[in-house]
Amino acid sequence: MHLKKILSFVIVSQFYDLKNAVSGKLFKPVWLLSPRIGFKYNMRDENITIRGGIGLFAGRMPLVWPGGAFQNTGVTIGGIDQQTALKPFRADVNNQYTAADFGFTDPKPSGELNLVAKDFKLPQVLRTSLAMDKRLGNGWTFSVEGVFTKNVNEVDWKNVNLNPTAQVVTTGVGARTVFNPTLIANNGLRIPLRPQLAQALRNPYTSIILIQNSDGKKGFSYNFTATIDKAWRNGWSFNANYAYGNSMVRNEATSSINSSNWNNMEAVNGRNNIGLTTSDFDLGHRITTYVARKINYLNKRMATTVSFDYTGQSGSPISYTMTGNINGDGNNFNDLMYVPTKAEVSQMVFVSNTIAGVTYTPAQQIALFDAYIDNDRYLNRTRGRFAERNGARLPFSHLVNAKVQQDFNLRISKKTYTFQVVYDIFNLTNMLNQKWGRQYFANFDQVQVLQFAGFQTGTLTPTYRYIIPTTPYGKPYSISDGLNTFNSSRWSSQLTLRFNF
């Protein structure tokens, strides 16, 4: 490894445990054992079946994550964003433009650097389940099941390019740890890898992302399900299901890019300082029911089936964050908002805000912000604390679908062929009333009603602007009204012709 890079690693190691990571090298693979055991016990006299199991489950992760150690080395990838003095396209792959053609230098190393801990282990979970099935008689069945999952090895990302000694604590309402704003302007939030140079040249990397297994408390989830089912001989069928689930994580791991996995996690005191939080995929409550009736006639040559299904679902978890990057780590939307008490809200410093030609004074914004908190159930009970990551939820949704199926049974040469005509109505609730069947969406599962507007001159007291929701229903999230059938608030229908042979 290049001497300069070795020296850089020595300096970074003074602030972070790099866990023997080396640029351009993979972790040391280890064997993972996945023993499992299950059981099933029948109590015939009681018409009860007990089943369950426990085991370790392991699998590979997206290989693009460790692949970043070979791709993002600080010397192999560069980029130029030039929007003026444009040049004609060059088709010759061996004669492409260089930085010098645009008047730029091409310093190396630079850009993003990815590292993988030498002792990194692939993801593994411990999972256990226990269930009971009960036949109640007359065709009724009842089932109940619980599943618990605990992470054993989980993936964690840390930006070890940030200088922890450059952090300070803000003053005023909602004090939090941030990077010193006087150092940010001079590239001072990065670890000085070349202290002999000018401040702006001391660290050439935009980020150094360390991929490791998380330390401390691991993520977990649990789910509970209860189902009742019945089928009648006269063609009726019925099913009802209730499920509740809770998931706690340290990382969501939703991106193929290591830096994005680090960026897109909401936090109070910076992304490197985050514990267990509610997952973006936390289930909450879900209720589903299904009822159908099949009618056979003309000596079973024809049959008509009409069915309805209902889904009631807790809204997706959302986080109340602020725009403006109060933390100073370069992420503009991941800083969780402080929710002031009634007494504290008037102590916050607001600056004038002009929206669509209308200027709102600080006093007006304070009143609007306080009223919004009062009218939001989650924020109102969170006064005096920071909003939690995924602590709030989008509204509960109700969705009903309908289906009509006509069967034509044709018997030819001792074989029966079936021709079916099926008509589906997705989101029948919205078809009946345009305000029904609505489903909601928040970009990146984040909503903002507050903007960080900078610190007061010469102080660490933050200033704010209130972001007035512009939706017709006065909320900072939107209705999911796309044309895609999945997760859409619009009703749609579908006609299907099917021939079974």
- CA separation for the pair 160, 24 (Å, rounded): 16
- Establish how many alpha carbons lie within 13 A of residue 152's alpha carbon, considering only the half-sphere containing its beta carbon: 15
Q: Is residue 8 part of a domain?
A: no
128 three-class SS? strand
- CA separation for the pair 335, 311 (Å, rounded): 34
Domain of residue 488, residue span: 281-501
345 three-class SS? helix
Number of domains the chain is built from:
1
Cβ atoms of 312 and 287 closer than 8 Å: yes
Q: Is residue 483 part of a domain?
A: yes
Per-residue three-class SS string for 318-347:
EEEEEECCCCCCCCCCCEECEECCHHHHCC
Q: Is residue 476 part of a domain?
A: yes
Partners of 302 in the β-ladder: 297, 408
9 three-class SS? helix
- CA separation for the pair 351, 349 (Å, rounded): 7
Cβ atoms of 122 and 153 closer than 8 Å: yes
Q: Is residue 256 part of a domain?
A: no
Q: Is residue 480 part of a domain?
A: yes
Q: Is residue 90 part of a domain?
A: no
Q: What is the pLDDT along the chain (501 residues), one digit of tens a residue?
A: 554 555 677 888 899 999 998 888 888 888 999 999 999 999 998 999 999 999 999 988 888 998 888 888 877 776 666 677 678 888 988 888 887 888 777 666 778 889 999 999 999 999 999 999 999 988 899 999 999 999 999 999 999 999 998 899 999 999 999 998 887 766 678 888 887 777 667 788 888 999 999 988 999 999 999 999 998 888 899 999 999 999 999 998 888 889 899 988 999 998 898 889 999 999 999 999 999 999 999 888 899 999 999 999 999 999 999 999 999 888 888 999 999 999 999 999 999 999 888 899 999 999 999 999 999 999 999 999 999 999 999 999 999 999 999 999 888 877 888 999 999 999 999 999 988 999 998 988 999 999 999 999 989 999 999 999 887 778 898 888 765 555 678 888 999 999 988
∠ CA 80-83-88, nearest 5°, is 85
Global pTM reads 0.87
Q: Is residue 182 part of a domain?
A: no
Partners of 43 in the β-ladder: 48
- CA separation for the pair 437, 475 (Å, rounded): 18
- CA separation for the pair 275, 331 (Å, rounded): 18
Tokens of 19: 């866990």
Tokens 């509204």 label which residue? 395
Stated as kind and residue range, the H or E segment containing 271 is none
